[in-house]
Structure 1
């Protein structure tokens, strides 16, 4: 009887639990297909709820227990803009220089793991819906880096469509995972499609290019990610294409993306791009017409959260049907269902990823590996490198020597530890070597602001410190949300990070007030360092005003001070998006004396100059107007003249000089190429950049990075920046002689090529195998990037095109046969209507450590063969 009662009790409890867990609506039933569940959910939403779900920041739908969600997140080279400490890999252009699809796939996989950990932790803490915590990442940037002056080229995989496509596909595969049901994370190919500057005019710019260039340069990578990699999302660009805004382009959005490529994923606008329809492009009258047209062209999300709010009126006015909105809603909810957001964590293997995965040893090791792989040795005369490890004195100079910002690039996260160039050299040199550091110059001038700690002179209301008032609005309006006393004006927050428990660093303002008491009589220069908007007032007078995002204000102000006198200092700060940082420093400008500097360092064994440029100068729509830079772009590709002048002075010491160049784009360095014995291009190398650079400088790692862009000799080699024709652009069409060609890079050993094998005649529509033997003919172990190029004789516009690459490791004296399979697509070009046209006649195929006919001193014997395509 007891057993019967127990059995009955268990049966009753099981039935009760089943009743309690029974789905109330079909969309909650995990036994149904995603399509069935999505259709059911969308059918239950009101018009207003539907429109709200088409914004990037979607509100919760409480009656269905659907949490709020913000689609906006970034993972360009590691999870970006998060308040958590994360692994930061080399900037995208540096990862492209690895020519290693496996490394990139692993990096994306590790980044997705860290992103999952952050999402899971925020879900546990009921913080769902905050920006930069979701699983929809607006990466990769697969625009073609057609012109080195574009400031955002650092975010791309370079100038070549094939390299970009292969690396982009690897990134998508790594990020999205291989689970047959669930996405690990959702990638997004951007910015679709003909987009690469200028930054200052991107909201109104109309890009015009030929159909040949459209299909053969600007679209191939997007097609690869959409059709083959099955990328979850696409972001349409700010600019117009052939007079239509990209997010409302008949050709790009309707005819190609949705109709020809059959893309079923979601499309988001770039942030504010729908507003641009009527604000800057002037192609639409208002938000109603802009939003309607964008949705009808397949743009599902309005990043910016403004224009699509007008869709409610658009439906009521008969401009668009509610059923058309449903098309977008089904795409959007399908992505969220595929990410497992509506299923129990027990069903989704990624849903239990812990925060212990953040900055795991494996991730940190891979960041160092990729930093090493990315470094390109441009010059090494007289075996200047590698350096001996028993040097007595190393002098490290330059604006990038101890610059943590530069190695992080843009669209970055924040790691627990950064290793700058200086720190990497110190760690490597050891205690028996004296390492001397001086900044020496700024990037563009030889006058340095030597800072003083003036915080001890700050007081407010009789107490030491600064009165800090924080406002939860963008106008410094009303009473502050909270007020506190701080010791100084010096803050950095990632967007969305807690300023206090009361406020996050997003869309806020702050006012900092203090009295500065001058300890001496003389001059003192106050310098502002801040993103977004800022103002500096001294004794009620506005001396710096850069409150508007697009307003270029001064960053410093010289004040005549009198001993014992008080000066009321007020800093006002506006933060809208991205990281939040505000800092006020003070000191005096001092002009560098190159003669005195060279005299001080004349006993050095070697001089390492770390220069180039930085993300402080190039990037997305920046408030920068230093000589040679404008709004994020560059006005010249030349290395800033002051850096060349310094290196000329350093050369007079007679000491070996190593130029370590940090950059996100190609820099013209003709004097350096002729006069500096060793040049290393290190990009923006991520958290372990300094360690990787030191490993290369001292020979603990044999460099094998290759240039993913052409380094031209001067501005004279470049067409107009605003010209989107590919004529005489990039290695594929450039008729001149570059300083350093695409695919170029040296080694500490030598590689020799021989024995190219393939068929003598190619049959249209069939694969062909091409192989060659590669031998490490030098004395050191090393890696080589084997590159295959195709040059069709009957294609007069095209010089040659990369169609295969493999990064291999060879011990000294070792040989390997490297094989490539060329597909019919590889041996074709695209017509002006997007049709595949097989190459005809004679085709030259070459395999080597770089392009044929271009000398690389550590890679010889490029093998080539002329093949005939049979009819």
Structure 2
């Protein structure tokens, strides 16, 4: 009887439940292995559907705002999805002068979530296979969307030298993007910037591969978290592979004139760490070429190195229309279709711009490219969609987006990054300022212009959301007379009023002047297809402040307009003069360094920038920022990165930078002593380096202890000094602490004459101190 009952139960399962399960495609079964789901779905797709999945068109035309609090999908979106469902959309929520989306025509966080939900709903319910979309958004220093928290640009982030803080910042950026429906965040930018004339320096972590790798990996870990399905994180996109930050002549996108050894040894380690340690899910190619091969069509970069050597298992985006550029810019393909074939075979999985890969259908049908290359790319894209759980949970909560985006907690993180990224370069004792000041002059083109604080890749923001230096000082000194005069603009000279600024200075006990640059776009600037700004020489109108940001490469590094005239005039008053640089690249500071009583570099400090700078000026935060990039004395010195070592003087000037990599002052002082070198375990750690750091000043402070090495004799030429470790140390006044660094085989390895990555036996020198040009502790050890 029991056997008969069991047989009946089994029959019910086979005849009833099993058919129901079989009716559900394998790729829709959440508990099935991901690889099986990928294979099943690819097997069901037409060639046209596969190609649609590896196209990423521009997204901001895909919604229609139907009222103040309502939004729907556009007809253009329906047409694209009905033709061949699209795999990814880029920058649906982007708002800026290029997209022509303003505070009025763009979307707040709640509407943004509603818009992406509507787009997902159409993809899931109105296409044959119901494949959800990956929404990719710009996230280099905050989600580039209206209402999202705007952090300092990456060069300012790097000045914190604070791995934990950058990880927390990445968590906020990932959360805010995910809450609004995004799945991929473009960032961080890991290009090594050694050409300050280049327009995109602000997007990088500076000139050093080690610092870039540490901070970039922390950013990735924060954005991605450990579980893609948790609804709080997005996939990070590493930009731009590779060597994009050293373009010939400083022109954006120009070839990188570097050797293979330099590529592997100096320009790729940051990417490698972010892939191997940070597990970055996506990578973006760069516009430039290396040794005659466009990076977007370079199989050595994208397959041999990225996938086979580093074990990357995500997918690769092209940069915007960079596949088209293989033909149109680099001229190594006769047609855009030929360019698409080169890119897909090299390992570029997703076409950002979507015009090139749309031609692959005909290419496959005509036998010009194997469909297996399409299948490989589609599989790489679908795998991440399954990992994020988008087939089961494609939607987000608009209510949560409204509540959590740009919360007070997130603003506080932005303020921390701003103040820790502010670098004190000179101080004769005028700082910190007393809070009993009665008369203060706040002057300069960057004292109260909000978009000059935010940098490129920034959406329009409400005025009340951004705190300028003038705002912050007025808040700190409610009972003081705060005299404000702009004095001059960044570039324009027709509106200058330096006499008014001088009069304000004469009435003050201290003068604070904010100068520098700007990446603020406006609706008069023209943009090319990639979104880079074009430089106009037309006159007879007020000139935009913008002198930095994508497309604004420079031939000089001088302060533009009447800014130096303004500094000279203010210095001539004899009043204590505090000079704050707000800029996206290292600008010349010779005059400011000479005449200022205090000099600070704040880069583009973000929406809480005014508060961050004021925290430093008034001593609420003891500055701990350190330069991630050398500041030259003259553009003729370039390149001037620290790892070249000490350069001999020119006939007409010093060979040293004005301010070196790693440099930054505090309101206290620190000394280094007791250097000890001891062998490591011989496996993971080859050498331990310890020293004592002491706070010898009169207040508590944070020091950034820095470890550099030199391979005394090697089979190939190596940099004479290289950063291989740093630690933030918080010390009470009078306190001492022992600091330990560990040097691994990877830290000591080089690419030898046969391009093997090895530790060569011999003598290694160790240098420890507070900056690349201030290393009082020196020792050496032997590797057998």
Same topology, TM > 0.5: yes
TM bucket, shorter chain? 0.7 to 0.9
Are 2:698 and 1:779 equivalent residues in the alignment?
A: yes
SS where residue 738 of structure 1 aligns? coil
Equivalences for 1:589-628 in 2 at 5 Å?
591-592=496-497, 594-595=498-499, 597-616=501-520, 621-625=532-536
- Tell me which residue corresponds to 1:73: 137
Name the residue aligned to 1:49. Answer: 49
- Which has the larger Rg? 1
Q: Distance in 2 between matches of 1:850 and 1:684?
A: 22
Is 1:97 aligned with 2:149?
no
Q: How does 1:493-642 map to 2 (within 5 A)?
A: 591-592=496-497, 594-595=498-499, 597-616=501-520, 621-625=532-536, 631-640=551-560, 642=562
Specify the alignment match of 1:748 in structure 2: 667
Could you tell me which of 209, 219, 241 is aligned with 1:171? Answer: 219
Partner residue of 1:683 out of 568, 588, 603: 603
Out of 412, 416, 424, the residue aligned to residue 377 of structure 1 is 424
Deviation at 1:686, TM superposition (A): 1.0
Structure with the higher strand share, 1 or 2: 1
Pair 1:390 & 2:311 matched: no
Question: Retained in 2: the 8 A contact 1:776–1:812?
Answer: yes
Q: Tell me whether 1:739 sits opposite 2:682 in the alignment.
A: no
Distance 1:851 1:22 in 2: 65
Q: Distance in 1 between matches of 2:352 and 2:172?
A: 27
> 1:288-323 deviations in whole A, cap 9, x for unaligned?
211111111111111111011110100011011222
| Residue 35 (str. 1) matches residue 35 (str. 2) | yes
Among 809, 821, 827, the residue aligned to 2:730: 809
Secondary structure at the counterpart of residue 591 of structure 2: helix
The reply on whether 1:156 has 2:218 as its aligned counterpart is no
- In 1: Cα distance, 2:399 partner to 2:272 partner: 34
Q: CA deviation at 1:66?
A: 2.0
> Where does 1:402-417 land on structure 2 (aligned, <5 Å)?
402-413=448-459, 417=465
Structure 1 spans left out of the alignment, 5+ residues:
1-11, 120-133, 449-590, 720-727, 855-861
Equivalent position of 1:263 in the other structure: 312
- 1:355 Cα deviation from its structure 2 partner: 4.0
Moved more, 317-326 or 626-635: 626-635
SS of 1:252's partner is helix
- In structure 1, how many angstroms separate the alpha carbons of the residues matched to 2:691 and 2:184? 42
Task: Give 1:865 deviation, angstroms.
Answer: 1.3
Q: Who is 2:343 aligned against?
A: 294
Displacement of 1:863 in angstroms is 2.0
Structure 1 residues 606, 201: CA separation in 2 closer, same or farther (over 3 Å shift)?
closer
User: CA shift at 1:22, angstroms?
Assistant: 7.8
Equivalent position of 1:312 in the other structure: 361
Residues 823 and 598 from structure 1, CA distance in 2 versus in 1: closer, same or farther, beyond 3 angstroms?
same
1:176 to partner: Cα distance: 1.0
Number of equivalences: 679
Deviation at 1:226, TM superposition (A): 2.0
Within 1, Cα distance between the matches of 2:481 and 2:447? 16
The answer for the alignment partner of 1:360 in structure 2 is 407
Secondary structure at 2:562 match in 1: helix
Matched, 1:644 2:708: no
Residue 842 of structure 1 corresponds to which residue in structure 2? 763
Instruction: Spell out, residue by residue over 1:601-643, the C-alpha distance to the aligned partner (whole angstroms, 9 max, x if none).
Output: 3121111110011113899732235799594112112223622
Q: Distance in 2 between matches of 1:596 and 1:371?
A: 30
Residue 44 of structure 1: CA displacement?
A: 0.5
- 1:237 matched to 2:286? The reply is yes
Cα shift at 1:189: 1.1
Give me the CA root mean square deviation.
2.9
Q: CA deviation at 1:275?
A: 0.8
**1:824: Cα distance to partner?**
0.8
What residue number does 2:781 align with? Answer: 867
Q: Match of 1:658?
A: 578
User: Could you tell me how far 1:150 is from its partner in structure 2?
Assistant: 1.1
The alpha carbon displacement at 1:205 in A equals 3.2
Distance 1:208 1:32, change over 3 A: same
Deviation at 1:94, TM superposition (A): 0.4
Q: Contact conserved, 1:794 with 1:840, CA < 8 A, in 2?
A: no
Cα distance change, pair 391–244 in 1 and its aligned pair in 2 (3 A): same
Shift of 1:18: 10
Alignment of 1:249-260 (within 5 A): 249-260=298-309
Q: Of the two structures, which has the highest relative contact order with CA contacts closer than 8 Å and spacing of 6 or more?
A: 1
Of 315, 318, 321, the residue aligned with 1:272 is 321
- The range that moved more, 68-77 or 161-170, is 68-77
**Distance in 2 (alpha carbons) for counterparts of 1:738 and 1:805:** 21
Q: Give the alignment's TM-score, normalised by structure 1.
A: 0.74
1:707 to 627, 631, 635: 627
Q: TM-score, normalised by structure 2?
A: 0.81
In structure 1, which of residues 185, 188, 191 is the aligned counterpart of residue 237 of structure 2?
Answer: 188
Q: Out of 368-377 and 286-295, give the one that drifted further.
A: 286-295
Question: After the TM superposition, which residues 63-142 of structure 1 pair with which residues of structure 2 at under 5 Å, given as runs?
Answer: 63-64=127-128, 66=130, 69=133, 71-80=135-144, 82-83=145-146, 85-119=147-181, 134-142=182-190
How does 1:851-866 map onto structure 2 within 5 Å? 851-853=772-774, 862-866=776-780
Give the whole-Å Cα distance in 1 for the aligned partners of 2:362 and 2:627.
Answer: 51
2:741 paired with 1:820 = yes
Asked if structure 2 preserves the Cα contact closer than 8 Å seen for 1:762 and 1:868, the reply is no
Pairwise CA distance, 1:202: 6.7
1:692 is aligned to 2:587: no
Q: Which runs of 5+ in 2 are unaligned?
A: 1-11, 58-84, 87-122, 538-542, 648-654
Shift of 1:360: 2.1
Change (3 A) 1:354 1:205: closer
Secondary structure of 2:437's aligned partner: coil
CA 1:143 to 1:165, structure 2 compared with 1: closer, same or farther past 3 Å?
A: same
Q: Return the structure number with greater helix share.
A: 2
Assess, with a 3 A threshold, how the Cα gap between structure 1 residues 326 and 602 changes in structure 2: closer, same or farther.
same
